[in-house]
Amino acid sequence: MRIRRKPWARPELAACPFHIDQPNEYLGRWNEAFPKKQPLHLELGCGKGIFTAEQAKRHPEYNLIAIDIKSDILGVAKRNIEELFGEQPVDNLRLFAYDIERILEVMNEKDQFDRIFINFCNPWPKKKHKKKRLTYTRQLEHYKTFLKADGEIWFKTDDDELFEESLDYFRECGFTFTYLTRDLHNSDFTDNVITEHERMFSEQGIPIKFLIAKLDPTVPLRVYVDVEALIANNDEDLEGSLGRIFRAQEQGERPLDLALAGKVLLPQERDALDQLIEERCGLTFSNADSNSLEQFPFYPVPLMYLLMHDDKGNYFGRNSDNGPIVCVNMASRCCKVADNIRDFLELILFHPQWKVLLNQAQRSGRFLDEVSEEEAELEPWQEQLSKELQLPYDPKAMLKLRACLLQSSGYIIYPNLDRAMKDNRFLKNE
C-alpha cells in the first residue's frame, strides 16, 4: 500500500503520548511503556489503525503495541485512534515506526507476547520477493523469540497464494493451527475485528482467509540466545534465557533443537549442546582455558574448543605434521559476538561445505603454531598471516582478517596441539 507524504504526521506523532519515538530503548522491557502491567499483544503492519483502535478499545485488559514502517501511515493511525477513544486516555496502546524485518532490534525473549496480529500484509507475489513476507519462515523464527510458549499468531488475508504458502511457513517453523477458515465471514468465529481492507475485499466478494497458530509442543524448539547479553550480564541473562530454556526442556515442555551459547555455560547446558553438535555433524565440543593467545589482544580467553572429528572418530588435522586443533573464540568482543556465534553454529550444523572452510583455518593454524613458539610481535604476525590468507596488509584488511577467522570460516586455530590433547574429552575419544 502506497500513501502520500503527510508533512503533519511527524510533528503530531512527536507530541502524541502513545507514540514511541525510540523503540530500541524498550528492548526487553516493553511493559514499562504502559502505566499498567498487563499481557502484551503485538500488531505487525497496523496501517491506518482501524483494527488497532478497535482492538485496544474492545480489550482494555491487554497492552497493545502496533508497528508500521512509515511515520506517514502512523500519523493516520494516530488520528483514527484518537477519534475512537475520544476524551478517554489511550493507556493500553503504543505506536511506533520500524522495519519489521529488523524486529529483533527492538524486542527480545524478555518481551513475552501473548498474541501477535498480522492483518492483510503485503503478499509479495514475485518469487524473489517472498522472503519479505511477514509470515515467511525467517520472520516467524524471529517472532518465536518473544512469543510465549502458549502464545498465538492471528493471521488474516484476502490473498489465496499467500495464505496457502503461509500454512507451509507456519508448519515448517513448528506451529500448529487451533483455528483455520478460508471464509471467515461465513464461519463460526465471533471475536473478529473488521479492518479497512477486510471490509473492502469482503464487499468485492473475496473470501477472507484466517488462522490462529500456536507453537506445537511436540516439535523441537530452535532457540536463539543473545550471546552478547550473556557476556555482559552473566547471571541475569543466563537465568532469563538459557536457564529458562533448559528448565523447560527438563520439565518436558518442548525438546531443544539448537541453542546458541557463549562465554558462560552451566555444566548441564554445555552437555546438552555437546550432544547436539556431536549428533548433527560428528563434532565433539569441549571447554578449556588458554593463555597461549594472550599476546594477541583480540583473542581474549577463555576459549571454547571444537575438537573436530569425522563419523569414525578421526580428528581433522590429527595426522598432519603439527596439525592444529580448531577452536572458536566465544568471548571476543572485537566483532558482534551474537552474530558471530549464530553464524558459526548454523554453519557447522547446516552448511554442507564446512569442511572446506576448515582447510583454510588449518592452513592459517599451522603458521600460528610456528609464530607462537617464537613469541612473534603482533605486527609481524598480522602481516605474515594476512599474506597466508592472501589479504592486503592494512588496518582495514586486518579487520577483514578477524572477520574471516570469526565469521566466514567460523574458526580460530588453537596453536598448541599438545595442550589441546590434554583435554579429557579429546583423550576419551582418541
pLDDT tens-place string over residues 87-120: 999 999 999 999 998 898 899 888 999 999 999 9
Residue 74 has pLDDT above 60, yes or no: yes
pLDDT for res 172: 80
Domain co-membership, 127 together with 42:
yes
What is the mean pLDDT of the segment spanning 223-236?
38
Each residue's pLDDT tens digit, 373-414 = 333 344 454 455 445 444 444 433 333 333 333 333 333 333
Query: Is residue 4 in some structural domain?
Result: no
Q: Which CATH number fits the domain that encloses residue 187?
A: 3.40.50.150
**Average pLDDT of the chain, as a whole number:** 65
> Who has greater pLDDT, 429 or 419?
419
Q: How many domains does the chain have?
A: 3
Instruction: Quickly state the pLDDT bin for 202 (edges 50, 70, 90).
Output: very high
Instruction: Quickly state the pLDDT bin for 2 (edges 50, 70, 90).
Output: low
pLDDT for res 173: 82
Domain co-membership, 106 together with 207:
yes
Domain co-membership, 109 together with 169:
yes
Query: Is residue 413 in some structural domain?
Result: yes
Say how far residue 7 (Cα) sits from the centre of its chain.
Answer: 35
Domain co-membership, 202 together with 61:
yes
Query: Is residue 163 in some structural domain?
Result: yes
pLDDT for res 6: 86
What is the span of the domain harbouring residue 337?
A: 282-429
pLDDT for res 176: 92
pLDDT for res 192: 94
What is the mean pLDDT of the segment spanning 32-61?
96
Domain co-membership, 357 together with 416:
yes
C-alpha grid cell for residue 266? 552451566
Lowest mean pLDDT, pick from 20-29, 109-118, 290-299: 290-299
Instruction: Quickly state the pLDDT bin for 219 (edges 50, 70, 90).
Output: low
Burial (CB count within 10 angstroms: exposed 0-12, middle 13-18, buried 19+), residue 388: middle
Domain co-membership, 69 together with 100:
yes
pLDDT for res 27: 92
Query: Is residue 2 in some structural domain?
Result: no
Note whether 311 and 282 are within 8 A (CB).
Answer: yes
Query: Is residue 296 in some structural domain?
Result: yes
pLDDT for res 17: 95
Count the neighbouring beta carbons within 10 Å of the beta carbon of residue 331.
Answer: 17
Give the pairing of strands 283-288 and 209-215. Answer: unpaired
C-alpha 82/C-alpha 287 separation (Å) is 57
Instruction: Quickly state the pLDDT bin for 149 (edges 50, 70, 90).
Output: confident
Domain co-membership, 244 together with 357:
no
pLDDT for res 64: 98
pLDDT for res 4: 75
> Who has greater pLDDT, 416 or 359?
359
Domain co-membership, 235 together with 144:
no
User: What single string gives the DSSP state of each residue in 197-234?
Assistant: HHHHHHHTTPPPEEEEEEE-TTSPEE----HHHHHHSH
- Please tell me whether the overall predicted TM-score, pTM, comes out greater than 0.75 for this model: no
> Who has greater pLDDT, 329 or 158?
158
Q: How far from 423 is each of 285, 303, 326, 411, 420, CA to CA, in Å?
A: 11, 13, 13, 19, 6
pLDDT for res 77: 95
Contacts of 279 (CB under 8 A, 6+ apart): none
Each residue's pLDDT tens digit, 162-173 = 999 999 899 888
Residue 179 has pLDDT above 90, yes or no: yes
Domain co-membership, 315 together with 391:
yes
Query: Is residue 171 in some structural domain?
Result: yes
Of 242, 277, 312, the position where a domain reaches its end is: 277
